[in-house]
Chains A and B, each alone.
Chain A
Amino acid sequence: MDHPPNPQRPDLRALFLAFAAVGLSGFGGVLPFARRMLVEQRRWLSAEEFNAQLGLCQFLPGPNVVNLSIVVGKRFHGWRGAVVAPLGMLLAPMLIVLLLGMAYDRWGQLPLAQEMLRGIAAAGCALLFAMAWRMGTALRDKALFLPFTVLTVAAIAWLRWPLPAVMLGGLAAAGAVAWWRLGRP
């Protein structure tokens, strides 16, 4: 499907509101919603531009969608856009989550609330397992790279090593294997 570029540059208000809508529509990850808004609905980015920009956002640590909103904001309105777009995406959901936090402080100790939260946590961790499964099956060269997944789980979940050390060592080792792999036809 082809989406012709939108000739109209969004103003700051439009940026804010568009990202607010994205932030509020996503449950368990808003990236798909961000893509739909940017590429298909508003057509502020082409599909290729979106993929290229997302590359850096996923390459760097940190919340990917926040990074993405900064890239899009900067593109249209420099530093002002880069402030307004992430604020638009975060403010309303932050308010909601804080209200829920207050409710938790008030009623969280009730047995009924505890039971409900345990059910939600079960569903939440099931969604995480599914996400890991999906990402794992999408890995290229599984025989080469899945062992690094297993080592990461062993170091983090079982041995409880600190993440910075694991990431540094893991990235050096997995990056070296990837470097070697890329050098072969």
Chain B
Amino acid sequence: MQTLKRNILAVPIVVWIGLLVGVPLLFVFVLSFLSRDSLGNIVVQFTLENYQRVFDPIYLRVFLNSLLLALLTGILTLVVGYPVAYITSNLEPKKRALSIGLIMLPFWISSLLRTYGWMILLGNAGIINNVLRALGVIDAPLSMMYKFSTTLIGTAYMLVPFMIVAIFNSVDKLDRSLLEASYDLGANKRQTFFNITLPLTIPGIAGGFTLVFIPALGLFYVSDLLGGGNTIFLGNLINTQVTRGRNRPLAAAFSMAMIVVAILVISLYGRVAKDDREGLFQ
């Protein structure tokens, strides 16, 4: 009873999450063991066939393809995001608020629209090609669309704010006296960064990586639009099976496999950040 009283304020959120995350997740889990009939209707009959199909060599390659995209997205957002986060946290308070505001601003616009924005920018008749042609730099349009790299850029663009904010928090918390001590002991800026700042912000990097990696596994419309559907990711596979494929149990099995990967990544993060009292999930 004591516990209940103390945690009473947490009840709404527990109900909310239980209802909108817990229950559907349970449905997906159960669904992944069910069969379907020839009309695509779900039949309550236990089967492991869906999971067998997940381990089909072709579908495993789709998994690897998604993991590769997520990994590269993590690296790209880290390379782009770290300097932004580092510089932002060293700004004076007013400018810093402005900078954070600008980083979050794109979230005010639908991500689908922003993806279309990239198409307008990169297309054969897009802004970049038109400008380069008008300047006489190129004769024929550069082909920048419908490649793996286009998908990567689009996905990284979509997720980079998460990386920046996670690292920003980490750099911001940094005990400045440690940096002063480092300078006092004769280290230059570079040495201080690599020996003090970087190691101390690893939990932030790991947190940002987790926040970027997991959604990158599932974003399917970016590869449909920017990648021109020329390759296939886990999100595409699940999307097709839920809709036109009419095989929701198989889609559920793929989703469970994806959740397992996500849990692995989160537990890996837990290890890296276990000493960080104010990490993502504390």
Chains A and B belong together in one complex: no
